[in-house]
Structure 1
Amino acid sequence: MKYNYCTLFDKNYLPHVLSLYDSLKRNISNFTLYCLCMDDESHQYLQRIKSHSIIPISYRQLESHYAELLNAKKNRSRVEYYFTCSSAICSFIFDSYPATELLTYLDADLYFFSSPVPIYEELKDASVGIIEHGFSFFGKRYLKYGRFNVGWVSFRNDQFGRKCLEDWRKNCLEWCYDRLEDGKFADQKYLDYWPEKYSGVHIITHAGANLAPWNVGRFRLKLAPATHQILVNNQNLIFYHFASFKQVDTNSYITNVSKYLVPLTGILRNNIYIPYLRSLIKYNEVLSIKFNHKDRAEAKNSSTKNKLKSASRNLRKFICRDHIKI
């Protein structure tokens, strides 16, 4: 079986995408990663490396295919426009590569630690595959932003998969903003309604799929004695979602697991975050990137309430040792 994936990113996330690609190569023998490059620099770089498993797609190609994106682009922030394009790139690939039977959208900040075959075995003939956030106790307050996470979303090229995808694309064109409003949030909260709205939707339950800062506190991590494979409640860790992993200095990052009162120690630090950090540093050096800038900045407010929140965040980071440097 050939596995088909797509992702989108700009030059600031190019080290993440190259790390994602490396992790796929280590764990899958036959795959294609369609890369929607949201700027010319990242597109030109991927064209130069000429990998047979990577197909670079320029944002210009997508906007030519879906001209209505240009109107959406005028009234959204950069990150909101990227959210808008996540569904569009999936539709574009089905239109441009009609032989594609099953396509999975991946966030650019995922990293695979073992084969995803168990996920596909679980999906079977499902038309759509989605994964719950599965928030830990200290993350449940974020459920209002969506039951499901867009980090992994699979669509089959059949009647039900295409219907769900096309509706999502149109929904995101109409409204896709980085705020909660009338039961919507970005491209993500639309997924809340899919299990009841569409036939053939499967909710992926594998414990090792989409482990992330918001849910890792729920699970028991250990290493398999013979292979040293990372186990999540006795199931292989398939991929980890490095959301909110932010550079603060040269080779120095904040993981933000402290946001969920998770200590950055043991296997989580040494076997999950350290390998990923080493990969990012390697590609930062290859690309001559000194600092990775993130566009989704938190709003600044000087009120007493927000000062207290900031102090609380700093205390959690200190207690959870939420700083990593090599």
Structure 2
Amino acid sequence: MNIAFTICSNNYLAQAKVLKNSINKYGENFKFVIGLCDEKSSEIDYDSFQCEIVEMKDIGIKNFDELWMKYDIIEFNTSVKASFFKYLLAKNPNTEFIYYFDPDIEIFDQLSILNAEFEDNADILLTPHILSSIPLDGYKPVENTFLNFGIYNLGFIGLRGHSENAKKLLDWWEERLLSLCYNQPEKGLFVDQIWMNFSPVFFKNVKILSKMGYNAAPWNLHERIGLVATEDNKYRMPDNSPLVFYHFSNFKYKNPETLAKYYDRYSLENSDSLKELYQNYHQKIIENDIERISKIDCKYVILKNSLPKKNKSFPEILKSSFNNLLKIIYYKIRYNYNYEPKL
């Protein structure tokens, strides 16, 4: 048996249902699980998902409440990833391969294609954000974008179920995510992702996938804009590999004509096939009631906001404001990156 899973709060379940339906279509002998970084809500019909949904509070993470209290919603959702891997493997001892996909991913071809990547003794599969250099032409993203956020995109990772290398990686990764899963690029931290830069150095049998059909996304369109629609909702990439999964990161259903907020290198008008890809995805999340579901606040965020806040002294406020100003200036000058300080 193989497992595919995602992690999200209630507000991302419309996207998670698209992922689930695509895995049902293309994942023979796959079990799909949603890890809910939230508490179940009376506003959602969980039975309609027809898959296992596990609340993260129930998987045995030590000091679980500390996570939602110290992390923001994105940090919180990513901090439990390694722990949920370990939970699923413990509950399913016969798992051959296990994959994590971000909830805003859709599968477009057989997952057996991914399984075959383990045939050369790989235990860990990773996808780089980009496979080739990006022109220095004033458009975004640029290569140094990923030096801030990680060489590999952790919207996907695949593991050989119970291999020793996978176990070592999960133990190492979990320890760091539970304590240092912050979105603080200026400190060398970017949630669960930037840690994985070390993985090919620290662990054996790490395979870096180099086909364009894996984890195609807005940030790598400089090399994949030439994808072509074929029959039956499938696509062929410029390197002639099939599109196995696409990552609709930063896609806003209220603004479906925009690829991604932070990247201006391409638009949907540059490719009829890409435009079709996004239009189809938009229709699916609309049908999954994203307009209503996306407005459901995470219960842990509500609880966190209800806790009494420690009043800062004037010197503390002044110091914090000055530090944020320095960060904004530093990132603008060095990286042409708009740093958004956490208040």
Please, what TM-score do these two structures have when normalized by structure 2? Answer: 0.76
The verdict on how the C-alpha distance between 1:195 and 1:44 changes in structure 2, with shifts beyond 3 A counting, is farther
Alignment partner of 1:119 is 2:123: no
Alignment partner of 1:73 is 2:62: no
**1:84-125: CA deviation from partner (whole Å, max 9, x where unpaired):** 011111111112222223211111110011112222212223
Q: Which residue of 2 aligns with 1:319?
A: none
Q: Which residue of 1 aligns with 2:265?
A: 261
Q: Which runs of 5+ in 2 are unaligned?
A: 135-139, 302-323, 338-343
Greater share of residues in strand: 1
Alignment partner of 1:204 is 2:204: no
* Aligned sequence identity (%): 20
- In structure 1, distance between residues paired with 2:43 and 2:57: 13
Q: Do the aligned partners of 1:114 and 1:237 also contact (CA within 8 Å) in 2?
A: yes
- In structure 2, distance between residues paired with 1:85 and 1:198: 21
Q: Which residue of 2 aligns with 1:143?
A: 146
- In structure 1, distance between residues paired with 2:284 and 2:69: 35
What count of residue pairs does the alignment treat as equivalent?
Answer: 295
Query: Residue type matched to 1:165 in 2?
Result: L
The verdict on how the C-alpha distance between 1:70 and 1:167 changes in structure 2, with shifts beyond 3 A counting, is same
Q: Which residue of 2 aligns with 1:215?
A: 220
Query: Residue type matched to 2:86 in 1?
Result: S
Q: What is the RMSD of the two structures over their aligned residues, measured on CA atoms?
A: 3.1
Q: Which residue of 2 aligns with 1:58?
A: 55
SS of residue matched to 1:19:
helix
Query: Residue type matched to 2:53 in 1?
Result: P
Q: Which residue of 1 aligns with 2:11?
A: 12
Q: How big is the shift at 1:175?
A: 0.4
- In structure 2, distance between residues paired with 1:257 and 1:108: 18
Query: Residue type matched to 1:141 in 2?
Result: N
Q: Which residue of 2 aligns with 1:316?
A: none
The verdict on how the C-alpha distance between 1:180 and 1:50 changes in structure 2, with shifts beyond 3 A counting, is closer
Q: How big is the shift at 1:32?
A: 0.8
**Residue pairs, 1:1-326, within 5 angstroms:** 2-41=1-40, 45=44, 47-49=46-48, 51=50, 54-62=51-59, 65-124=60-119, 125-134=121-130, 137=134, 138-139=140-141, 140-144=143-147, 145-156=149-160, 157-219=162-224, 220-224=226-230, 229-233=234-238, 234-248=240-254, 252=256, 254-256=258-260, 259-265=263-269, 266-284=271-289, 288-289=292-293
- In structure 2, distance between residues paired with 1:227 and 1:84: 37
**1:29-59: CA deviation from partner (whole Å, max 9, x where unpaired):** 32111111122336994642372xx211012
Query: Residue type matched to 1:254 in 2?
Result: T
Q: Which runs of 5+ in 1 are unaligned?
A: 314-326
**1:221-253: CA deviation from partner (whole Å, max 9, x where unpaired):** 1234x667311112111110010012336xx56
- Structure exhibiting the larger radius of gyration computed from Cα positions: 2
**1:189-231: CA deviation from partner (whole Å, max 9, x where unpaired):** 111000111011111122101000000221221234x667311
- In structure 2, distance between residues paired with 1:143 and 1:17: 25
- In structure 2, distance between residues paired with 1:131 and 1:46: 34
Mean alpha-carbon deviation: is it higher for 138-147 or for 254-263?
Answer: 254-263
The verdict on how the C-alpha distance between 1:290 and 1:175 changes in structure 2, with shifts beyond 3 A counting, is closer
Q: How big is the shift at 1:182?
A: 4.3
- In structure 2, distance between residues paired with 1:253 and 1:245: 9
The verdict on how the C-alpha distance between 1:198 and 1:175 changes in structure 2, with shifts beyond 3 A counting, is same
- In structure 1, distance between residues paired with 2:35 and 2:186: 28
Q: How big is the shift at 1:288?
A: 4.4
Q: Do the aligned partners of 1:133 and 1:214 also contact (CA within 8 Å) in 2?
A: yes
The verdict on how the C-alpha distance between 1:229 and 1:74 changes in structure 2, with shifts beyond 3 A counting, is closer
- In structure 1, distance between residues paired with 2:69 and 2:179: 13
- In structure 2, distance between residues paired with 1:44 and 1:200: 44
